Structures are given as structure tokens and as C-alpha cells.
Structure 1
Amino acid sequence: MHTLRAERLTKRYRRRAALVDCDLAVPSGHIVGLVGPNGAGKSTLLQLACGLIAPTSGTLEVLGARPAAGAAHLGRVGFVAQDTPVYPSFSVADHLRMGAWLNPAWDAALAERRIAEVGLDPAQKAGRLSGGQRAQLALTIAAAKRPELLIFDEPAAALDPLARDAFLRSLVGFVGELGASAVLSSHLLGDVEQVCDYLIVLGAGRVQVAGPVRQLLADHRYTTLEQLVLAYMSGAVAR
């Protein structure tokens, strides 16, 4: 099974094309880094994968099915958006109770353990949490669904380096514990290099390159992921 499979996937907003004729076949079992300049189509691809928007043309399958094909499929995907949304007036415990109510496969023991491990007070209102704490809460809620795929849209962009490092370590820990795949969109190439073993580079709404990081580096004789990404984004490497 593939985590993502797209054929000629296209999304247009009136006259502007966000994605154009994208082909992808990403195998399961990877932490995928999705990178590219602003406006490359990263958020659009992730919103399509979550079923929040529909493609203009072409096809996209997530875990072998159409995105958000039904309640069961929604439960197989966990999503953490860019602003790691939480409800300010809800306590941490309220968020866990809501997660349990909304998700039949909710793992209460996992959620409570992770909240304790990152030092969150169950009685604390989410609106009083730091950015790093909100990100940890959003990640815990997504993971306690026990999804097969976790999707992250720039989740650590606004965090300080220590909070970002803690978030990435938690991400990797959850992926390992759940046996899940993950897709991480980020403009911070150091973060992608730290945790991702598969890479997708988007540019001008098209897939510039996709494949296992080690293979791509070996094929192009680069020593770092940053060198490879910058080469594709600058046009120094042809598709």
C-alpha cells in the first residue's frame, strides 16, 4: 500500500494553479519531508490529502482510498495544522475528553501518558499554554486516534529551537510507537533532514523530485539534503 498516490493531480483556485499534473507514489512506512518555496503547493497538497478540499482534476489516494472517503478512513489519518489549533477556553483534559468522544479508536492511556511525559497540567486552559505546549497537545490528540498516517503542515514553524526539537522528537516517537507513516511539510530544511527518510520537493505547483533521501543524495552526489533541495529549487538540477 502507498501512503500517497497521485496521478495528474491538479488544483486550481480560479485562474491560479496551485498544483499542476502532479504524479506521486509514496510507499508506506516513511517519514516524508515535503519542501518547497512559499506558494509551491505544499499546503494545498496536504489539504487535498486530508479531504479538506477537492482536486480540480486528476486523482489522489491516501492509504489506498479517496481522502476522507468515510468515517473509518478519517480515523486512519491524523492532521496537525500550521497553527497547531486548540480551543483556548478548553482545558487539556477537555481536549482529551473531546478526542475520546470523536474518535472510536481513541487510546486514552497513550494520550494521558504523553500529556504527563511532556509536563502538561490536565487542568490548564489551552489558551494559557506556550506555543510548544500547544503543539505537543495537538500532536497528542492526533496520535491518540492511533492513525496509520500523521500529516503535519508546518507544525513547528513558530516554535523556538528547544520547543521545535522536543516536538520533532515526539513526532518520531509517535510514528515508531504507532507503526505509522508521516508527512511533514516544513520550510526548515534542518528539521526535515533530522527526521525524514523520504523527500518530496515541490516547485511552481509541480513535483520536482521525490524519493528516499539516501538514494537521492547518492544519485546526485550531494552530502546534505539542504544542498539537494536548494539545487532543485534553483533549477541547477533538471527534473
Structure 2
Amino acid sequence: MGMQLMRSSSYHRHLHPHRASTTPAFSASLHPISSSIVLQRSLGFEHGGTRSIKRRIQKHGIVASSNLAAPPWESWNPEKGSASPSLSDVVWPSAGAFAAMAILGRVDQILAPKGVSMTIAPLGAVCAVLFATPSSPAARKYNMFMAQIGCAAIGVLAFSILGPGWLARSFALAASIAFMTYTRSPHPPAASLPILFIDGAKLHHLNFWYALFPGAAGCLLLCLIQEMVLYLKENFKF
């Protein structure tokens, strides 16, 4: 009986040699369902599939880092991974801001007989954006001029319709944020232009010229100074 079984098995191996030489792993690769079962068994998750994986993760305390919430005090700390600025990175933007305000002050002296001024608070915020964070979205030329002109015009329109007061300021600020969002031109300093016009009696005579002066006109000068600051930061490091 044993001899017959051995002869039968050798006979089948002789007729079908590829079946005898096929390994379980190779056979599993020929059948997607079998390969899935073999893979699950090799990983130790033969029962329950993904549910078993989740249970094992919970059991062993494995938590994905993306699901970890940042501590509430994280935003009060400096940005991680950012290198300390060099001395030149501090000096050149500061020198650019000094030069900008000095030139604007000189222009004010020339324009004083006409009762207008170029030195307004929003341009100080523009200096910080252009000189300190030149690669930020707010420093893009499209964002800056679109927001400066649009928000200034909104301030004039709000004052013309609603007059001075809290309602005009509230409407102008809300409309300015909506305008910058719709036109994809975020530039925070421009949001102060409508409030400056509504509360500044000396600017009312400009009417819709306020959309170009002094905000947009001042930004042209600041863009020229920004190019000088960037050149100095790139070529004169210390």
C-alpha cells in the first residue's frame, strides 16, 4: 500500500512538475484572495482585518503624530526650526524703514502748503511687511496695490453714505476684509485705510483721490526702497 502511494505521488509529479515546484508564496501571488490571506497571517492580523489593527494600536498605545493636538501655549513660543537672524538681517530692514520715513517726512515738508501729508500710520505697517517679511503673501505687489486702492475707496464710499461714526467704520472694515478675500489680495495694513479716512477730517477733501494718495503713492516709494534693502541683505552680510 505504501509503495503504491509513493508511485502515485511520483507519477503525478512526473505529469505535473510545475505543481510540485510551486511554493505557497508563489501560489498565493497567483490568487489575489489567497495572497491577502497570506499577508494578513504573516502580519498576525488574520482575524478582524483593520479592526484588529486598530485594537492592537489602542492596546499598545500607538498614536499617529498627526492626531496629536498642539499644546495651547505653542503659539506663544518662537517658530520652531527657524534660525536666528544674522546682524545684517536686522540692520538692513531697520535702515530701510528709517530711510522710508525720512523720505516721506521730506515729501511732507514739500506738500505742507497744500495741506496734505504722505506720512500715515498704515505705511509704517507696510514697511514692516516689505522689509521684514518680503516673501510673505502680504508683500506681493498685486496684494499690496489691490488692497491699498480698494480699501481706501471703500473708506471714502462708507463715509459718503454713512457719515462719520461707528457704523461707517464697522461697515468699511467688514467690506475691506470681504474685498481682500474676494480678490485674493490679503494685505493687513490696507484694512486701516478706511478707518483713517473716516476719522481724519484733514483727508476728507481728497475724496476719491484718497484711493491713490497717499496710500498707493507711498507704496510706490516703499517698493523702491525694498529693492535696495533686498540687494543689501543679499550682497552685504555680516
TM-score band by shorter chain is under 0.3
Higher relative contact order (CA 8 A, sep 6+): 1
State the TM-score, normalizing by the size of structure 2.
0.25
Bigger share in strand: 1
State the TM-score, normalizing by the size of structure 1.
0.25
Q: Which has the larger radius of gyration?
A: 2
